[in-house]
Amino acid sequence: MKRKWLALFMAAWMGIGLTGCGTSDSGEGNTGESGSAGQTEQNSEAQNQESGVQESASDQQPESGSGEDITLRFSWWGGDSRHEATLKAIEAYENSHPGIKIEPEYSSFSGYYEKLVTQLASSNAPEIFQVDQGWVAELSARGDAFADLSKYSEVIDMAQISESMMNDYCKIGDEISVLPFGYNGTVFLYNRTLLADWCDEEGRLEMASWDDFIRIGRELHAKDAECYMTTAVTDGYLRYILKPMLEQITNEIDIQDDFTLGFNQEQMTQAYESFLEIFAQQVSQPYDEAVLYDSMQNNPLWLNGKIGGIFLFFSNIDTEIAGLDYDYGVAGMPMFADASISGQECCPSLMVAINRKADEAHQQAAAEFLEWFINSEEASLILGTVRGVPASASALEALEKGQMLSELMSQGIQISNDTISLKNGAYELNSSVKAVFVDYMEKVIYGVSTPEQASQGMTAELEGLLKDLSGQ
């Protein structure tokens, strides 16, 4: 389904999954994240693994009756800034809602999904839990995870979320299973200081096509052998370069919701051949060097101003340039001449659900909390962008009025919303599907397989995997 995000967001408001579209938790991301978020979120979460998992002391679902106080458990993952902001928001809510207690259960990303599945199986999951967009289809198939939020449409103002996002990512059949905390889109963040020779008088990078991207990168490296047009972590090469190239070629979602492929071997071969040019022409930092670093903040070439730019989710812009003294700009995805869509990801950064097994009183209280947490000005100003740019129109408006979005992030939002893109398929971000893509991408990069061989092997393996996932 093609759509212009700006028109849809603005029409519905004022109108993703690898894993959810990612977001770092510091200024805003999964897929970042990984499981979905983005590369920055993964790094932040990894750093927090050793800091200990903070959890509620309560192991049982609270019993409640009419007129009694209600305790709600709320679980999420992230780094310190997300934890701190969420705890502050919880405190504010409790102060204004006597009789409601929110017990926080927070941790790093590592192990979160496995623990949630175990809790669901033992009927001990929190009433409110954060999920990655890439998990929604699998958890929904269990039948015991998600309460139908359409029952609370009079409590939660869902009109604040764009209709397209609700239809594409939140509904499973006739039920509303999840809601988005935030949303994200792919843009190209470039070092205007380094790329001044390729910018116009107003500092806009003169790059519209992949041919432009390759040419600028080749000329930059020839000018300074230490410089490259771009770099990425493993997930970044897949999500921000290879898969967009493939979608621009096919104009289709890579993994269709009916468990079929949106591409054939010839199209995958073409995508691999185009992708390899960024390495053959020395446009990208060599892959075996780039993947030594788990984020741009750990990559010396990025920190030292030797990288022309990086593809990323717009909510990660401020995080990736923190502490760097260069002039930056934001551009859209380069495209093939005959492409009609960008291949960018524009999707929820993180999702939230209410436990289907919670009793009616607890589900009602959870819905009331989520209305405040997602849509209220008070919560928005506390939470900022720790879960990505808000998907709620009212929350986004609050941040804009409070001048809590940087100029670059605002530009990135506008560029992404103006770009025609495809939704992520329900199994696009499935961990097993992603592993197959990564495996064959690396075989091509390292010369273990030719593009033709990799395309043949990958399509066959994916078709078998998708058959298994479909239960056929």
The residue whose two tokens read 């405190």 is 91
Report field, pTM of the whole predicted structure over 0.85:
no
Do residues 312 and 187 touch, judged by C-beta distance below 8 A? Answer: yes
Q: Is the model's pLDDT at 283 over the cut of 80?
A: yes
The band of 453, judged by pLDDT with boundaries at 50, 70 and 90, is very high
Hey, what are 373's tokens? 């947490």
In the chain, count H helices and then E strands: 19, 12
Q: Taking the CB of residue 390, how many other CB atoms lie within 10 A of it?
A: 30
The band of 26, judged by pLDDT with boundaries at 50, 70 and 90, is very low
Higher pLDDT, 457 or 56: 457
Task: Give the whole-angstrom CA distance, residue 381 versus residue 187.
Answer: 25
Do residues 190 and 205 touch, judged by C-beta distance below 8 A? Answer: yes
DSSP string, 82-146: HHHHHHHHHHHHHHHSTTEEEEEEEE-STTHHHHHHHHHHTT---SEEEE-GGGHHHHHHHSSSB
The band of 27, judged by pLDDT with boundaries at 50, 70 and 90, is very low
Largest CA distance in the chain: 73
352-380 pLDDT, tens per residue? 999 999 999 999 999 999 999 999 999 99
Q: Is the model's pLDDT at 313 over the cut of 50?
A: yes
Residue 55: the pLDDT is 44
185-235 pLDDT, tens per residue? 999 999 999 999 999 999 999 999 999 999 999 999 999 999 999 999 999
Task: Give the whole-angstrom CA distance, residue 472 versus residue 470.
Answer: 6
Do residues 147 and 363 touch, judged by C-beta distance below 8 A? Answer: yes
Task: Give the whole-angstrom CA distance, residue 59 versus residue 420.
Answer: 46
Q: Is the model's pLDDT at 38 over the cut of 60?
A: no
Q: Is the model's pLDDT at 6 over the cut of 90?
A: no
Residue 236: the pLDDT is 95
Hey, what are 235's tokens? 């997930």
Give burial (CB, 10 Å; 0-12/13-18/19+) of 94.
Answer: middle
Residue 22: the pLDDT is 58
Residue 29: the pLDDT is 38
Residue 403: the pLDDT is 92
Please give the angle made by the CA atoms of 79, 84 and 89, to the nearest 5 degrees. 130
